[in-house]
Structure 1
Amino acid sequence: MFSLSHFVTLTIFFFISTFIFIHRKKLSDKRWRKAELATALSLILIEITNHLWMYKHAVWKFGRSMPLELCNIGLLLAIGLLLTRKKILFELLFFIALLGATQAIITPALTYDFPHFRFFHFFYAHMMIVWVTLYFLWAKGFYPTFSSVIKVVLFINLLLPAILFINKTADGNYWFLRHKPKSPSFMDLLGPYPWYIFSLESLLVILSLIAWLCMRSWLRGEKKSSYSES
């Protein structure tokens, strides 16, 4: 975290995010459909490659290698959104990307540095989760609603018992429900085990509501700007 390679990656992340916002009207063109499908394919291929790499190097384990982390779930949602353009997928992805993937990019729990394959996989997957979300938000006009907040909270809490069961049976730590990541992260500010889990649950609700309110305010500003221009 905060090495030279990390700072360069953060620069690329913010540059592309800004590019999507500036060129959002051009990106709304239907001709970008092929790019959406190609991006989905690239995410599928890099995820398959990652599992093959883990298997080849004998580090694949049921308790830590299944695509069950929130960002893994976010990646699957991003692929599904790119393929189907279903709004329900965007509603779930929006909060996971904004609150989960962005945090992972800024404070990565990663032991491999540039130019290792795992470095590329980690940042490509996480940044794409955010970029796909921003693309559908700014270019395609998908917006979260208050019901989106309810949906994502229900979605995560319905998955919670299954994740707890898998952690117990497979000696895993998915969602960091058994202990915090060994590398520094924002979870260090949320108290000891198990209280940081309740802190995470509270943050999920509070930050999701804040994100929704910010998007609602931004959307109102965009509408007023459109009316004034017309």
Structure 2
Amino acid sequence: MMYIFSSSTSHAFKLFSTPHLFTLCILMLVLITMGIFKNRLRHPVTSFVVRICIALVLVLTEYSFHLWFIYHQKWDVTTTLPLQLSSISLFLAVFLLLTRRFFLFEITYFVGSASALLAMITPDLGVYGYPHFRFFHFFIAHGGIIVAAFYMIMVEKYKPTYLSIWKTFLSLNLFVILIFMLNLFLDANYMYLMAKPLSNTLLTYLGPWPIYLLSLEGIAILAFHLLYLPFIFTKWTNTSNDHSGTTQFNS
């Protein structure tokens, strides 16, 4: 049992191993289940309880992460502040669930969902494979961000606009500038702005610094547009149905 919370492990994370794929399947199952029961979840009391529960899970997950570092005397201002994109997205998701602010939804959906999904596909977990605490923390935190964003879409009926893409992109870049300056001040590498992670992730294949940062800009724009595609199709389908209904009525 203590192995799960130990500071070292002999079970390194293996990309696309059975535990890795299983966690991705669990996330997909949660999203499908949420879609099936979306009408029941729209009851005001039920919606409030579910939103609070998701937010609580996210907060406790982040809290336990910092407790683990403190317990093992590994907490460091240069590496452990909640300034990685995943931690920032997590807190945005929490505030979104509590306040239901549309601007928070825009950022959480585009930045949070895109970054969390990419992180879950190519995790930066190093030596912390299943069943270590860090493995569970990583996938619960990132999966929770995605669940929060899609809950607002499926249950609360939030829909981003095309302008949301560029508002989010601008907000992200302003935040990147802020984190870059903090990195210089702290001699840190938050959001991997100063160097790529040691593990094999998407950044591994995007060229040296600072080329991979420019590559990420393009990937972000592409990812945001891909995330917006379902809403274009929905709008197109609804418009087609409206025209079809009008034609039948007139005939």
Work out whether the TM-score is over 0.5.
yes
- Residue 77 of structure 2: aligned partner: 62
Separation of aligned partners in 1, 2:22 and 2:242: 36
- Residue 184 of structure 2: aligned partner: 168
Query: Cα RMSD (Å) of the superposition?
Result: 2.0
**Does the CA contact (< 8 Å) of 2:113 and 2:145 recur in 1?**
no
| Percent of aligned positions that are identical | 35
SS in 1 for 2:199: coil
Separation of aligned partners in 1, 2:124 and 2:238: 36
Cα shift at 1:84: 0.7
Cα shift at 1:109: 0.6
- Residue 182 of structure 1: aligned partner: 198
Cα shift at 1:228: 7.9
SS in 2 for 1:60: coil
User: Is the deviation greater in 208-217 or in 124-133?
Assistant: 208-217
- Residue 89 of structure 1: aligned partner: 104
SS in 1 for 2:124: coil
1:104 to 108, 119, 123: 119
1:153 to 169, 186, 198: 169
Separation of aligned partners in 2, 1:41 and 1:48: 10
**Does the CA contact (< 8 Å) of 1:71 and 1:96 recur in 2?**
no
SS in 2 for 1:167: helix
Cα shift at 1:100: 0.3
- Residue 191 of structure 1: aligned partner: 207
User: Is the deviation greater in 74-83 or in 152-161?
Assistant: 152-161
Separation of aligned partners in 1, 2:209 and 2:30: 37
Cα shift at 1:135: 0.9
Amino acid at match of 2:231: M
Separation of aligned partners in 1, 2:146 and 2:87: 13
1:10 to 24, 29, 32: 24
Cα shift at 1:60: 1.0
SS in 1 for 2:230: helix
- Residue 132 of structure 2: aligned partner: 116
Matched, 1:52 2:67: yes
The answer for unaligned runs of 5 or more in structure 1 is none
Amino acid at match of 2:201: S
Matched, 1:201 2:217: yes
The answer for unaligned runs of 5 or more in structure 2 is 1-14, 246-251
Amino acid at match of 2:164: S
Bigger radius of gyration among the two: 2
Cα shift at 1:188: 2.4
**TM norm structure 1:** 0.91
Question: After TM superposition, what 4+ stretches of structure 1 lie above 6 angstroms from structure 2?
Answer: 225-229
Separation of aligned partners in 2, 1:226 and 1:189: 46
SS in 1 for 2:197: coil
Q: Which string of whole-angstrom CA distances, capped at 9 and with x for unpartnered residues, describes residues 66-95 of structure 1? A: 111111111011100111111111011011
